[in-house]
Each structure stands twice: as structure tokens, then as C-alpha cells.
Amino acid sequence: MRARRRGRRRDRRGDGRRRPHGRGRGRAARRRGRARRPAGRARQRLRAQARDPADPVAACALLRSAEKRIDLAAVGDRTYLGILSAGLDSDANRLANENTLPLGTAVYAYAALRALAAWKPARWTVTVDGQTREFDGYSVAVSNSGVYGSGMFLVPDADLEDGLLDVVLSEDIPKRRFLANLPKVFKGTHTEEPGLHFLRGRSVSFTADRPFTAYADGDPIAELPATVDVVPGTLRVLAP
């Protein structure tokens, strides 16, 4: 009995769930999707787009809903649903995953503050559908759903069915201003702030002047340089 319980222990890193971006599953995701009820941060992303009602009765009604196909993003042979990011986010994700304090969802704010205190700007090279640009700054994020962390609306108008990736470039600004803008991300009111640039495309390649691990939905997924491609209409879901 004890061995059985240990075998069912959930992974506490990232979402604490079985992930669609497990190694070797990217090619399979291109061939077929799976209709399942998402958990962890994936549930936050679909709830944010009004596709996962909190009411249990309404949730059961989903079983009678029509099937939809939504996009995934692929990095090599791995896929993800939400947001891949690198830079300051790499450091914050690592600190959040290493944390042992009982902070709940506040762990992300805690990790971001720790990462910001030690941060030094990086030089980025980003190519979106063949168009290249360089900048000094905090991070590059490649978004499929637009929501991550504990309900941060990085790309409020991201669409899981448009066949496009949303790219967010965060340029170098004073740390105090960066910190002041951070709460706005939880409401999605940050998009007009200076230093942020929003792009769209089907294929995104990027690298930096120092090593970074790219994280997707809270877990490490690739080392830079990395290339992300959209995989349209791959994941089957039930939605009202």
C-alpha cells in the first residue's frame, strides 16, 4: 500500500500534473489530439477564456458540448499549451521550482522579486517568420494561450484557435519601473507600457548573449537557442 501511494505522488514542480509537452510527444501531438479536462495552470488558461466554468453543474454540461480543436506550440519534439519564456522568467521559474516555503500561488511573485534583484540585462536576437530584431532587455516570451503563472494575462487577446503565436519582447527599463508594471499583468492592463513589444507569427527563433533555459508552463523545456512553431488545431477539447 505504501509503495502504491508513493507511486501516485504528484510532481510538485510547475503545474504538478501530467504534461502534454513530455519528451517524444511532439510528433504524436501533430498526428492526433486528446480530449481531456486540463489541470493546474492549463485549467487557468482555459478558464481565463471562459472555457472551464467553476460551477460543477456547468462543468458537467461540457460533456454535451461540441468538440473543438485548439493550437499547441512545439519546440523540437516537445509541445506546450501556454507560454514559453526565457530570461528573467528563467531565473524566476527556477527559483519557484526550488522553493520549499508554503507560499501557494504567491511563490511566483516571491521568485520574481528574487530574480529581479540579481538581474542584469541580456542581449537578445529574435526572428519571427523570417524577420529578425535585436534588443537589450529582460525576456522573450512565446505565447500560445496568453495566460501563465497564478493568473497573469501576459497577452490578453491571445487566441488558441488562430494558428499564430504571440511574442512578447520585454526591453530594458529601470527595475523600479519594471516592478511597478508587474501588478498590471494580472489585469492585462500592461500592454501599452513602454518597453513591451508584441509580435505575431507562426515560427519564432531566439537566443541570447548568455545561456538560458526556456520554461513552458512552469517546467524547463529547452536550452537556448530555441525555435518554436505553432501546431494548429492539434488538441481536441470540449468547449461551450
**Mean pLDDT, to the nearest integer, of 80-108?**
89
Check whether 58 has a pLDDT greater than 90: no
Choice among 21-30, 99-108, 119-128, 207-216 with the minimum mean pLDDT: 21-30
Sign of CA dihedral 110, 116, 119, 123: positive
| CA 191/CA 3 separation, integer angstroms | 49
Residue whose cell numbers read 489541470: 39
Domain ranges of the chain: 1-240
Determine the pLDDT at residue 61: 74
- Nine cell digits for residue 207: 537566443
The string of DSSP letters for 58-92 reads HHHHGGGSEEEEEEEEEETTEEESSEEEEEHHHHH
Determine the pLDDT at residue 150: 66
Q: Are strands 147-148 and 131-143 parallel, antiparallel or unpaired?
A: unpaired
List pLDDT tens digits, range 83-95. Answer: 999 999 999 989 9
pLDDT band at 222 (very low <50, low <70, confident <90, very high): very high
| CA 64/CA 205 separation, integer angstroms | 40
List pLDDT tens digits, range 2-55. Answer: 444 444 344 444 544 334 544 444 554 444 444 344 444 444 444 444 445 567
Q: What is the value of pTM for the model shown?
A: 0.75
Instruction: Print burial letters for 73-112: b (CB count within 10 Å at least 16), e (below 16).
Output: bbbeebbbbbbbbbbbbbbbbebbbeeeeeeeeebbbebb
Residue 66 corresponds to which amino acid? A
**Mean pLDDT, to the nearest integer, of 97-118?**
86
Instruction: Report, at the CATH architecture level, how domain 1-240 is classified.
Output: Sandwich (2.60)
Residue whose cell numbers read 528573467: 88
Determine the pLDDT at residue 240: 66
SS3 category, 175: helix
Q: Specify which residues 171 forms β-bridges with.
A: 137
Using CA atoms of 91, 93, 98, 99 in order, give the dihedral in degrees to the nearest 10. Answer: 110
Check whether 127 has a pLDDT greater than 60: yes
**Mean pLDDT, to the nearest integer, of 162-166?**
97
Check whether 115 has a pLDDT greater than 70: yes
